A and B are shown apart, each in its own frame.
Chain A
Amino acid sequence: MTIKISVPLDTAQIKRLKAGDEVLLSGTIYTARDQAHKKLVEIIRSKKRLPFEMRGAVVYYCGPTRTPRGRVIGSCGPTTASRMDAFTPALLIRGLKGIIGKGRRSLSVVKALKEQGGVYFLAYAGCGALITRYVKKARVIAFKELGPEAVRSLEVEDFPLIVAVDARGNSIYG
């Protein structure tokens, strides 16, 4: 059965999700990958203002291609999540609730997801053209200078995901 969820992710929605569940996500999510994570964590450390509200937010590890003329977004699949492992706990402590990427996470990320009540989802890996179907709006909101690594807000509708690590710390990878 496919479960529909929407952003912001509240405790009730999060509690229902179990590793292996297939979900359809709707709402506004934020792209951030390597360099943006480095910056976000620096902002948190220096107690400055984050470019988006972290409480209840969903971050998508994605660096899209350029946007072809007449389209909302270019190819936009997930990138390897483990490269963000070192930065993730700091964002979860600040209220991040959902993460979308591909591949395994470190034990410390799984632990932080459990402690902070967050969920790690997988998007269909290597399917960036297909995923454009679920993105209705896209806009760069921070770190424009990072090009493909800039933070974008994406409005998604029924974005198909698989729960990889649930808020109890159970992982699809065992």
Chain B
Amino acid sequence: MVRIITSDKIRETVRDLCIKANVRLRPDVLAALKNAYRIEADKRAKRILRAILDNAAIARKESLAVCQDTGLPFVMLGIGQEARITGDLTRAVNKGVEQGYRRGYFRESIVRDPLMRGASGYSPAVIHTEIIRGNKVKIAVLPKGFGSENKSQSRMFNPTAGIDEIKKFVVESVITAGPDACPPYVVGVGIGGTADYASFLAKKALLRSIFRPASRVPAGKAGGRPTGHIKNLEHDLLRRINGLNIGPMGLGGRSTCLGVNIETSPTHIAGLPVAVNISCHALRSARASI
């Protein structure tokens, strides 16, 4: 049944999600950090993890941004095909971002012109929409800091490339990021689709809880494949990355990566796009359904 959703409601939801995401570290990330703290053997690494946990607690208690880089908000809208939105949707999202960021006293990190730069502000966000079933609108906000966004990579592999080449590429992307992008990291990987779509999936992968299994590979002519191989790939990459001894702040230790999330998509017979989007330990996102 068709449902009316006002753009005002969307603006308010985006506003509240921006505040929540920036002030409260995501529960799965927090749990993974606590776990890393528990098992870390290196003394200095443990001290840094303690500081990261203290930081999250202070941010939450005092309504401060977890990190001063309150990022460029990546907003995912899943729009139910039976939802009817009144008003200007794009404008509502950007207004919501501006209001949330202003209310939270966050940082103006966005320049309107990438070349001329100039004064920075709170919007526009990067907005993606997907049409979904039903009559609801699902909204997810992921404010992405650029210390880690700057370490994103993508590569077009040959379709005959082995899984080992892909593993090597992901691990090397983390080595390149090294100490610079605030490890321990969460690594988002997009495999398949097109060059642009793989990059989108790598970012979208960061929205998924570290503890939730990968989405199913869409069923195709081959009948769809179980996600077991993706899960194994995630585990193997996590193990390899944590063997790199990068550690918190890049000063050594086993806590280099909190999780690897992979999203896949069907692709062309001639190609195998792979993209990596690295997130710092301050992986922030919040979602709502209206």
Q: Is the CB of B65 within 8 A of A173?
A: no
Name B55's contact: one of A74, A102, A124, A147 (CB within 8 Å): A124
Name B120's contact: one of A77, A80, A132, A147 (CB within 8 Å): A147
Q: Is the CB of B106 within 8 A of A66?
A: yes
Q: Across the two chains, which residue of chain A brings its CB closest to B249?
A: A125
Task: Indicate whether A104 reaches chain B with its CB closer than 8 angstroms.
Answer: yes
Interface string of B149-192 (1 = CB under 8 A from A): 01000000000000000000000000000111110000000000
Q: Across the two chains, which residue of chain B brings its CB closest to A69?
A: B105
Interface string of A133-157 (1 = CB under 8 A from B): 1000000000001111100000000
Name A75's contact: one of B51, B65, B147, B179 (CB within 8 Å): B65
A172 proximity list for chain B (CB < 8 A): 251
Q: Is the CB of A147 within 8 A of B108?
A: yes
With known contacts A129-B59, A173-B179, A79–B147 Cβ distance under 8 A: yes
Q: Across the two chains, which residue of chain A brings its CB closest to B48?
A: A124
Q: Is the CB of B117 within 8 A of A129?
A: no
Interface string of B213-245 (1 = CB under 8 A from A): 000000000000000000000000000000000
- Quick one: which of B68, B69, B179, B251 has the most chain A CB within 10 A? B68
Task: Indicate whether B81 reaches chain A with its CB closer than 8 angstroms.
Answer: no
Task: Indicate whether A35 reaches chain B with its CB closer than 8 angstroms.
Answer: yes
Q: Across the two chains, which residue of chain B brings its CB closest to A133?
A: B58
Q: Is the CB of B249 within 8 A of A102?
A: yes
With known contacts A77-B67, A172-B251, A129–B62 Cβ distance under 8 A: yes
Task: Indicate whether A162 reaches chain B with its CB closer than 8 angstroms.
Answer: yes
Q: Is the CB of B105 within 8 A of A80?
A: no
- Quick one: which of B62, B63, B65, B117 has the most chain A CB within 10 A? B65
With known contacts A80-B150, A102-B180, A128–B119 Cβ distance under 8 A: no
Q: Is the CB of A128 within 8 A of B68?
A: yes
Task: Indicate whether B66 reaches chain A with its CB closer than 8 angstroms.
Answer: yes
Q: How large is the interface on A (under 10, 10 to 19, 20 to 34, 35 or more residues)?
A: 35 or more
Task: Indicate whether B77 reaches chain A with its CB closer than 8 angstroms.
Answer: no
Docked CA distance A68–B147 (Å) = 23
With known contacts A75-B67, A173-B250, A126–B179 Cβ distance under 8 A: no
Q: Across the two chains, which residue of chain A brings its CB closest to B58?
A: A129
Task: Indicate whether B36 reaches chain A with its CB closer than 8 angstroms.
Answer: no
Task: Indicate whether B7 reaches chain A with its CB closer than 8 angstroms.
Answer: no
B54 proximity list for chain A (CB < 8 A): 127, 130
B70 proximity list for chain A (CB < 8 A): 65, 75
Closest Cβ–Cβ distance, residue B71 to chain A (whole Å): 11
B282 proximity list for chain A (CB < 8 A): 126
Residues of B within 8 A of A (CB): 48, 51-52, 54-56, 58-59, 62-70, 105-109, 117, 119-120, 147, 150, 178-182, 249-251, 280-282
Since A66-B108, A77-B67 are in contact, a sample of 17 more A-B pairs with Cβ atoms closer than 8 Å, ordered by chain A residue number, is A63-B107, A66-B107, A74-B105, A75-B67, A75-B68, A75-B107, A103-B179, A103-B180, A103-B250, A104-B179, A126-B67, A145-B119, A147-B120, A148-B108, A148-B109, A172-B251, A173-B178
3 closest A-B pairs by CB: A103-B180, A129-B59, A127-B55
